[in-house]
């Protein structure tokens, strides 16, 4: 920018912002739809049966290999002898499940030995199908929740890798996990290599998000491993906003063929500075892997996923965009100052001036950020979708405050009515009611206008939040909005209000 101050009219056209937690998948061509239908009837049953048989055989081998071993013994010393010799057979069966499912596992480079690199760092992590790398790498120890190991079927295969378990009920779980990783990586015993997905969650492979430092605390050499899915139709990406696991599995198994590339990079040996700074070590490895993959890095973290989960559970229509807003606010220091909440409490009158329409310079002034800030310009662009140089400040405030101040749909709508109340008297016009309901519940404009007319039967030109709440109680399609938590649990069958079904239970599983 060379220090140039852009006026609202001069702000460049907004670039496409990377959101690693969104994946859109649709069968767009007639050929794809016909092929999927035919393969669903003819090929899918055969592939599913073959996969189940192979997994059953692998499970039996794992059960045999674990006979006579307690969980304590599995954590204290590595498997040896005839039990260790079962590993290649289990891995061969595991790789076969991918082959019979129509997916080819392509390996590039050479896997280092445990002596060369005790830890394998794998990225990007984008799907449950990434589990195939455990078979390719000879069943290394993985980091997994303790609950997963209790599963009577998949738990046997997990336990055979001698995983590093994360005990969620333990308040010291993080420290204990790091300690165990360090012990494994520096041990003289012949433990399996430790395999870690340092991103900690699934993304759409558009960038590498922040690496958790757990794999880098031991300060030992690691081997970076890159995963690619170079397929015409991406049927594998499983992230926070997009198709669920069953749909992805169905579409993957109904492809003629697909592939997964696993590339082993040269072993990365940390220097003295990296050994004493795990975050620096993690960041340098991330940049190396991103360069190899030809994708950028991004400072998104697992905490952003938790934010998106909350937004999903509240049925916010623009949850993924709110994550981007929060990241930009963090860069600007706004999460520390909470300037938006102060504006709402101390200066509500400036929110509604001219219907909330403000320019970029006014936006910078209200947030008390220099207008020369490129990050602030990027934040402004997110709301200036038509590139007019003008945004509705109320939309920005609502998006920011709804995450921090609202815990359910009712509080969310109440906050929206407060922000879109131009006169500060609790009276919201028809146009502003439409905006309030659209930005909180994704209610279409025509539907919002119909609701407004049904409440404002005398033609006053405004409604209040209390009137909307009373109206909602008598309308089945809106009644769930103001239910208390206990009532909501009892009334799960209540229809939802014009909101996309994001399969909240699925998102909860991912977050856990």
- For the chain, the structural domain boundaries read 30-297, 305-511
Helices and strands per DSSP (H, E), number in the chain: 25, 9
Which run of H or of E encompasses 227? strand 222-228
Q: What is the DSSP letter of 398?
A: H
Write out the two tokens for 80: 């040896």
| Cβ-proximal residues to 494 (8 Å cutoff; 6+ apart), any chain | 476, 479, 480, 483, 488
Helix locations, 118-191, DSSP H: 132-136, 146-149, 154-160, 173-186
Instruction: Please tell me the predicted confidence (pLDDT) of residue 495.
Output: 36
Orientation angle between helical segments 245-253 and 30-42, nearest 10 degrees: 90
**Nearest in space to 248 (alpha carbons), one of 338, 349, 128, 347:** 128
Given the candidates 2.60.120, 3.40.1130, 3.30.70, 3.30.1370, the CATH classification of the domain at 30-297 is 3.40.1130
For residue 2, is it left (φ>0), alpha (ψ between -120 and 50) or beta? left
Instruction: Please tell me the predicted confidence (pLDDT) of residue 12.
Output: 36
| Cβ-proximal residues to 438 (8 Å cutoff; 6+ apart), any chain | 317, 444, 445, 448
Q: In DSSP terms, which residues pair with 407 in a beta bridge?
A: none
Instruction: Please tell me the predicted confidence (pLDDT) of residue 273.
Output: 96
Q: Does the N-terminal peptide bond of residue 249 adopt cis geometry, omega within 30 degrees of 0? A: no
- 121 in helix, strand or coil? strand
110 in Cβ contact with 264 (< 8 Å): yes
Instruction: Give the span between the Cα atoms of 19 and 38, in whole angstroms.
Output: 34
Total number of residues shown for the chain: 512
Q: In DSSP terms, which residues pair with 222 in a beta bridge?
A: 119, 268
Write out the two tokens for 259: 């592939």
357 alpha-carbon distance from chain centroid: 32
Q: In what order do the strands lie in the sheet with 194-196?
A: 103-108, 258-264, 222-228, 119-123, 194-196, 141-145, 164-166
Return the C-alpha torsion angle 365, 368, 374, 379, nearest 10.
Answer: -80
Question: Nearest 5°: phi and psi at 248?
Answer: -65, -40
Residue 367 to residues 13, 185, 380, 439, 466, Cα–Cα distance (Å): 22, 48, 11, 21, 31
Instruction: Give the span between the Cα atoms of 195 and 186, in whole angstroms.
Output: 15
pLDDT (tens place) for every residue of the chain, 512 residues total: 333 333 333 333 333 456 788 888 888 889 889 999 999 999 999 999 999 999 999 999 999 999 988 888 888 899 989 999 999 999 999 999 999 999 999 999 999 999 999 999 999 999 999 999 999 999 999 988 877 777 778 888 988 999 988 876 666 778 888 999 999 999 999 999 999 999 988 999 999 999 999 999 999 999 999 999 999 999 999 987 789 999 999 999 999 999 999 999 999 999 999 999 999 999 999 999 999 999 999 877 766 666 666 666 555 555 667 777 887 888 888 888 888 888 887 766 666 555 688 899 999 998 999 999 999 998 998 888 788 999 888 888 887 887 777 667 788 888 888 888 877 788 899 988 998 888 888 788 899 999 999 999 999 999 999 999 999 888 877 777 776 534 443 343 333 333 333 233 333 333 33
The three state secondary structure string of 366-395 is HHCCCCCCHHHHHHHHHHCCCCCCEEEHHH
Residue with tokens 């073959």: 50
454 in Cβ contact with 431 (< 8 Å): no
Residue with tokens 């109680």: 473
Question: Nearest 5°: phi and psi at 194?
Answer: -95, 125
């Amino acid at each position: 920018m060379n220090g140039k101050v852009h006026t609202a009219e001069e702000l460049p056209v907004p670039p496409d912002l990377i959101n690693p937690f969104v994946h859109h998948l649709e069968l767009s061509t007639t050929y794809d739809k016909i092929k999927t239908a035919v393969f669903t009837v003819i090929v899918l049953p055969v592939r599913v049966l073959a996969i189940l048989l192979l997994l059953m055989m692998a499970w039996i081998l794992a059960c045999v290999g674990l006979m006579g071993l307690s969980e304590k013994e599995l954590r204290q010393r590595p498997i040896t002898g005839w039990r260790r010799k079962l590993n290649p057979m289990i891995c061969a069966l595991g790789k076969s499940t991918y082959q019979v499912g129509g997916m080819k596992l392509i390996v590039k480079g050479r896997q280092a030995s445990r002596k060369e690199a005790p830890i394998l760092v794998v990225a990007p992590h984008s799907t449950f199908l990434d589990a195939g790398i455990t078979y390719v790498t000879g069943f290394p120890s993985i980091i997994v929740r303790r609950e997963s190991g209790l599963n009577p079927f998949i738990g046997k295969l997990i336990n055979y890798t001698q995983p590093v378990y994360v005990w969620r009920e333990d308040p010291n779980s993080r420290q204990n996990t790091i300690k165990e990783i360090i012990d494994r990586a520096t041990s003289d015993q012949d433990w399996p290599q430790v395999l870690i997905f340092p991103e900690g969650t699934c993304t759409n492979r558009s960038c590498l998000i922040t690496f958790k430092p757990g794999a880098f605390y031991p300060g030992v050499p690691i081997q970076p491993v890159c995963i690619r899915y170079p397929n015409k139709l991406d049927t594998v990406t499983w992230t926070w906003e997009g198709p669920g696991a069953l749909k992805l599995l169905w579409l993957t198994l109904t492809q003629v063929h697909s592939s997964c590339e696993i590339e082993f990079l040269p072993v990365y040996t940390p220097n003295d500075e990296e050994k004493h700074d795990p975050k620096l070590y993690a960041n340098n490895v991330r940049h190396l892997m991103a360069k190899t993959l030809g994708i950028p890095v991004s400072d998104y973290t697992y905490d952003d996923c938790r934010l998106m989960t909350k937004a999903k559970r509240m049925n916010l229509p623009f949850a993924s965009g709110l994550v981007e807003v929060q990241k930009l606010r963090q860069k600007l220091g706004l999460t520390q100052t909470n300037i938006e909440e102060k504006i709402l409490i101390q200066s509500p009158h400036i929110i509604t001036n001219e219907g909330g329409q403000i320019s970029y310079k006014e936006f910078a002034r209200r947030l008390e950020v220099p207008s020369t800030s490129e990050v602030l310009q990027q934040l402004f662009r997110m709301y200036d979708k038509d590139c007019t140089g003008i945004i509705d400040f109320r939309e920005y405030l609502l998006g920011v405050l709804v995450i921090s101040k609202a815990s359910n749909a009712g509080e969310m709508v109440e906050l929206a009515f407060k922000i879109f109340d131009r006169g500060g008297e609790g009276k919201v016009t028809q146009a502003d009611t439409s905006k309030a309901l659209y930005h909180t519940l994704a209610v279409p404009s025509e539907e919002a206008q119909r609701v407004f007319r049904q409440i404002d039967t005398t033609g006053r030109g405004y409604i209040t939040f209390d009137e909307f709440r009373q109206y909602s109680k008598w309308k089945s399609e809106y009644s769930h909005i103001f239910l208390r938590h206990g009532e909501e649990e009892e009334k799960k069958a209540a229809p939802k209000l014009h909101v996309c079904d994001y399969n909240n239970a699925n998102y909860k599983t991912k977050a856990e």
